[in-house]
């Protein structure tokens, strides 16, 4: 029984509200059938918050997120807000949430479900059974490094500056999470950087090697980020856990997502450090964006968000049983042949976003019967 767990829903923009509706369906199911009850709250983030409150993340919304036991976010952004000032842009709201909640560990698992091995852009034998985890550092690096900005030079040219900055402490804490996760998986870790070109890469490699000494049973390999991108599409099954910085993690996780058939399948968890009572702040979100081109058409794939909800049950609430139930129900509905357009294959049944949500509840019913 999980009552009084405070869960904040932030549907956001584009397809965010649609995919979140399907999670609500599963939350209701959990309440009625499994006696898993949440203390639910909902608020605005991203473009919709700009429209209604003048900024993409208000202090009140941030405070709610910090006080919740977990936050589930849909997606932010869209062309409507392209002209908005950088500091209040939809993306700025998301980055502020990550930074203020100190969610430094971003887990992006890429697993290929048997029913979808054919939907991958790679040959089936390269991806079938794939199960890798990208661990992305989320609160530092070039996303947040200073100085940054645009300046005009004396000769009238404009100069843009971003700073890639990491401290040994920041690298150490993400590496430790990586080694701990690898210990529960296949005991293999790839530390990914550009030590051949970047100072942050040199430090990253040094700290990874140091931390590795505390985990003698884990096999640590160093890899350059460009090589990693190539290896991900050449032989993805060589990886177990990939630990990398904020920018490389952003890029490599999109790449890994596609191996699974669609960006619409990938969930993520962003976790902070545990306090004395073991509580950690956490935000769960699909890796895909707001997909403004299909927003409001009931065509989006809600499975990444539903899997993000399952990750929340697993990591924030230790509810492995119900997380596994959602995972199995997902496999079953895909085996039934139901597909949203992004994962459509020959001979399968093309269905809508809400159809997938309903079918998931039907499969949950069968499993729980």
Residues that bind ligand IPM (CB under 6 A): 77, 91, 94, 250, 287, 289
Q: Hunting for tokens 């852009």 — which residue is that?
A: 121
Q: How far is the CB of 91 from ligand IPM (least distance, A)?
A: 4
- Our answer to whether residue 166 is catalytic in this structure is no
CB nearer ligand IPM, residue 77 or residue 302: 77
Closest CA to 39 of 329, 360, 317, 275: 317
Nearest residue to ligand IPM by CB is 91
Q: What's the 3-state SS for 171-211?
A: HHHHHHHHHHHHHCCCCEEEEEECCCCCHHHHHHHHHHHHH
Q: How far is the CB of 256 from Mg ion (least distance, A)?
A: 11
**Residues in contact with Mg ion, shown as a per-residue x/- string from 30 to 49 under the rule CB under 5 A:** --------------------
Does residue 213 contact residue 204 with C-beta atoms inside 8 Å?
Answer: no
CB nearer ligand IPM, residue 56 or residue 191: 56
- Between CA 282 and CA 73 the distance in angstroms is 11
**Cα radius of gyration (the chain):** 20
Q: How far is the CB of 287 from ligand IPM (least distance, A)?
A: 6
Near Mg ion by CB under 5 A, which window of 29-37, 92-100, 226-234, 245-253? 245-253
Catalytic residue among 5, 96, 194, 299: 194
- Our answer to whether residue 250 is catalytic in this structure is yes
CB nearer ligand IPM, residue 14 or residue 302: 14
- For position 285 contacting Mg ion by CB under 5 A, the verdict is no
Residue 342 contacts by C-beta under 8 Å, 6 or more apart in sequence? 262, 263, 264, 301
Catalytic residue among 254, 324, 348, 358: 254
CB-side exposure of 207: number of CA atoms within 13 Å? 24
Q: How far is the CB of 253 from Mg ion (least distance, A)?
A: 6
Q: What's the 3-state SS for 20-60?
A: HHHHHHHHHHHHHHHCCCEEEEECCCCHHHHHHHCCCCCHH
CB nearer ligand IPM, residue 139 or residue 332: 139
- Between CA 254 and CA 1 the distance in angstroms is 36
Does residue 348 contact residue 339 with C-beta atoms inside 8 Å?
Answer: yes
Q: Please give the distance of CA 107 from its chain centroid, rounded to a whole number.
A: 6
Question: Of these partners, ligand IPM, Mg ion, none, which one is at the site of residue 16 (CB under 5 to 8 Å by kind)?
Answer: none
What are phi and psi for residue 218, nearest 5 degrees? -100, 135
Residue 18 contacts by C-beta under 8 Å, 6 or more apart in sequence? 295, 296, 298, 300, 302, 353, 354
CB nearer ligand IPM, residue 236 or residue 289: 289
Does residue 317 contact residue 30 with C-beta atoms inside 8 Å?
Answer: no
- For position 250 contacting Mg ion by CB under 5 A, the verdict is yes
- Our answer to whether residue 254 is catalytic in this structure is yes
CB nearer ligand IPM, residue 68 or residue 94: 94
Residue 189 contacts by C-beta under 8 Å, 6 or more apart in sequence? 178, 179, 182, 212, 218, 219, 220, 221, 240, 241, 242, 243
Catalytic residue among 13, 43, 69, 250: 250
Nearest residue to Mg ion by CB is 250
Catalytic residue among 28, 39, 214, 226: 226
Q: How far is the CB of 180 from Mg ion (least distance, A)?
A: 24
- Our answer to whether residue 143 is catalytic in this structure is yes
Q: How far is the CB of 244 from Mg ion (least distance, A)?
A: 13
Q: Which residues bind Mg ion (CB under 5 A)?
A: 250
Q: Would you name the residues annotated as active-site residues?
A: 143, 194, 226, 250, 254
């Amino acid at each position: 029984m999980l009552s009084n767990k405070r869960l904040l829903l932030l549907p956001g923009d584009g397809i965010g509200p649609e995919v979140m509706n399907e999670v609500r369906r599963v939350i209701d199911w959990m309440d009625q059938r499994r006696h898993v009850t949440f203390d639910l709250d909902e608020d605005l983030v991203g473009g919709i918050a700009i429209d209604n409150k003048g900024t993409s993340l208000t202090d009140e919304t941030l405070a709610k997120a910090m006080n919740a036991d977990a936050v589930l976010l849909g997606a932010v952004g869209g062309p409507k807000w392209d002209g908005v000032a950088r500091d209040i842009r939809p993306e700025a709201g998301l980055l502020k949430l990550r930074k203020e909640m100190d969610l430094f560990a971003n887990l992006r698992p890429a697993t290929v479900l048997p029913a979808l091995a054919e939907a991958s852009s790679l040959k089936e034998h390269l991806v079938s059974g794939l199960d890798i985890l990208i661990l992305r550092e989320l609160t530092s690096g070039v996303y947040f490094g200073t100085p940054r900005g645009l300046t005009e030079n004396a000769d009238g040219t404009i100069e843009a500056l971003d700073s890639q900055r990491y401290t040994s402490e920041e690298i150490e804490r993400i590496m430790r999470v990586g080694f701990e996760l690898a210990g529960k998986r296949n005991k293999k870790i790839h530390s990914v950087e550009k030590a051949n070109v970047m100072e942050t890469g040199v430090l990253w490699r040094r700290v990874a090697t140091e931390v590795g000494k505390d985990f003698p049973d884990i096999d640590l390999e160093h890899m350059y980020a460009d090589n990693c991108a190539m290896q991900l599409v050449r032989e993805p099954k060589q990886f177990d856990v990939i630990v990398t910085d904020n920018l490389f993690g952003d890029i490599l996780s999109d790449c890994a997502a596609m191996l699974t058939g669609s960006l619409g399948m990938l969930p993520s968890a962003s976790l902070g450090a545990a306090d004395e009572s073991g509580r950690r702040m956490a935000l769960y979100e699909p890796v895909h964006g707001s997909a403004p081109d299909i927003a409001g058409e009931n065509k989006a794939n809600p499975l990444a968000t539903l899997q993000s909800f399952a990750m929340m049950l697993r990591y924030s609430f230790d509810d492995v049983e119900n997380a596994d139930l959602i995972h199995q129900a997902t496999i079953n509905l895909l085996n039934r042949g139901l597909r949203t357009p992004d994962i459509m294959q020959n001979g399968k049944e093309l269905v809508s976003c809400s159809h997938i949500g309903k079918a998931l509840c039907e499969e949950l019913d069968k499993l729980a019967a």
